[in-house]
Amino acid sequence: MAKVVRLLAVLLPLLPAALMAPAAAQPAQPAPPSWTGSWETAPSGTTAALPGAAFRNVVHLSVGGTAVRVRLSNRLGTRPLRLGAVTVALRGAAGPAALPGTLRTATFHGAPEVTVPPGADTVSDAVPLPVPPAADLLVTVYTPDDSGPATYHRTALQTSYLAPAGAGRAADEDGTAYTLTASRWYYVTGVDVRGPAAGSVVAFGDSLTDGNGSTPDTNRRWPDRLAQRLRGHRLGVLNAGIAGNRLLRDGTGPSALARLDADALDRAGARALVVFEGINDIKGTPQAYDPAAYADAYRTLVARAHARGIPVVGVTLTPYGGYPAWTPAGEEVRLRVNAFIRTGGAFDAVADADAAVRDPADPTRILPAYDPGDHLHFNDAGMAAVADTVHHALIDPHHAVAVAPHLSDGFTTPQTTG
């Protein structure tokens, strides 16, 4: 009970006044809508620039609003990045075509072009475009020059589109110029919405969060499934997973500790952080076999989030028996790290994904029904099981260590499918 009281003290000041006021109380004037993150991807590396091309990125929003703004990144670039045009539009039925009448030009301090310094991000001005929850948004970026290595997210699991001769094509509603497809997101790293959302949950992790193993072009990563479950609570979900990322050192992308602010704590409307990271440190090269190092890193992550008033859910590390890098020594580390996550007192709540997906007949392995075949990642059913576990830790008022049991007051948990 004392833990729940402490968690309420952390989270209650962050909730909109409308959620906290008694039913009979009415504010004198409604507060202006705030910005909330609706979609995110974390920069994971660079690839060669394509001067003169227009990249039409397809991104799937979690919550809706009356306006959007886009986040674009040259964080991993080495030269100034000139963005010659950026547009946003609701996607048509399929492919690269925009829904007629929805294409808008994004500006930056009122200008249609912007140059982003190396190592930096930029955010557009507000774009008046009503977007519904769970909408596909087209974010088109035209790069006229060779700006050096292009910051991108490698494992998109989403087909996007490319117009090799991109001059003037960012404003195309039809998709005929977008003759090539891409399985990566280029430059775009976030979409914020202005509207009634109560905030967002940041899913912070590695390939298990990035979505490896789930069906491409279907939005069945566990953060997507969590977004479905939280929609009735007006909470968005941001996916800050990077395949190959590590907790203790740089791997694919900067380490969890190095990227925490940019990819999680600094995101608009962040209300809770879910940390599901560490298995790559156990199975990677070099292997990290000191459980105390994991405990120290988790405590540091939590302390930095708490300094922003953001509670943290820790997710237990899931089995990987049968994966080529599995070893008995690594399994022992995983079990000891999980014991800390469950009982070490560092986290505000625990989502026991290990218990949810392991095979009772062989707890070193994932249940066959959740295994896409590599014995490490999750198929669509496994992703849904993880989402259910995280959702329970975040919302269920009967859960002993629920981060936000009060968020269920006055709301109905939405029906989910699949």
Q: What is the pLDDT of residues 139-191, one digit of tens each?
A: 999 999 999 999 999 999 999 999 999 999 999 999 999 999 999 999 999 99
* Dihedral over Cα of 322, 283, 153, 62: its sign: positive
User: CA–CA separation, 387 vs 214, rounded Å?
Assistant: 13
What local confidence, expressed as pLDDT, does residue 30 receive?
56
Residue 357 · residue 378 · CB < 8 Å? yes
Enter the DSSP assignment of 178. -
Enter the DSSP assignment of 99. P
Name the band, by pLDDT with cuts 50, 70 and 90, for residue 397.
low
What are the residues facing 273 on neighbouring strands? 202, 312
User: CA–CA separation, 273 vs 344, rounded Å?
Assistant: 18
The 3-state DSSP class for residue 373 equals coil
Task: Inform me whether the pLDDT recorded for 74 exceeds 60.
Answer: yes
What local confidence, expressed as pLDDT, does residue 396 receive?
66
Over the stretch 295-342, which tens digit does the pLDDT of each residue have?
999 999 999 999 999 999 999 999 999 999 999 999 999 999 999 999
Beta strands in 316-383 (DSSP E): 349-351, 358-359, 362-366
